[in-house]
Amino acid sequence: MIIPLPKKANAQSSSQHWYTMDGNACHRQSDGKPTTLRHARKQNLVPSVSGILGMIEKPQLTKWKADMMVRKCIENPYKPGEAEQDYIDRMHGFAKQDKNEILGFGTRVHNAIEMWNLGKYDEAEDPEIFPYLDTYIRWAQKNLKRVIAAEKTVVNKKLGYGGTIDLIAEINGVRGVCLIDYKTQRWNAEKKPSFHDSWVWQLAAYRKTMRPNPNCISLVISATDPRPVIEKRWTPTELQAAWRLFCAANTIWQESKKYTPNHEFNQPSNN
- Whether the CB-CB separation of 221 and 107 falls below 8 Å is answered with no
pTM of the shown model? 0.82
pLDDT value of position 4: 41
Q: How far apart are CA 106 and CA 124, in angstroms?
A: 18
- Quick: pLDDT tens for 189-238: 788 899 999 999 999 999 999 999 999 999 999 999 999 999 999 999 99
C-alpha triplet 11, 167, 198: angle, nearest 5°: 65
What is the reported pLDDT for 114? 96
Mean pLDDT, residues 43-57: 95
Q: Is the pLDDT of residue 1 over 50?
A: no
CA separation for the pair 216, 239 (Å, rounded): 8
- Strands 161-171 and 177-185 turn out to be antiparallel
pLDDT digits (tens, 9 = 90+) for 126-150: 999 999 999 999 999 999 999 999 9
CB 271, CB 30: distance < 8 Å: yes
| pLDDT (0 to 100) of residue 12 | 42
Give CA–CA dist 178/171, Å, rounded. Answer: 7
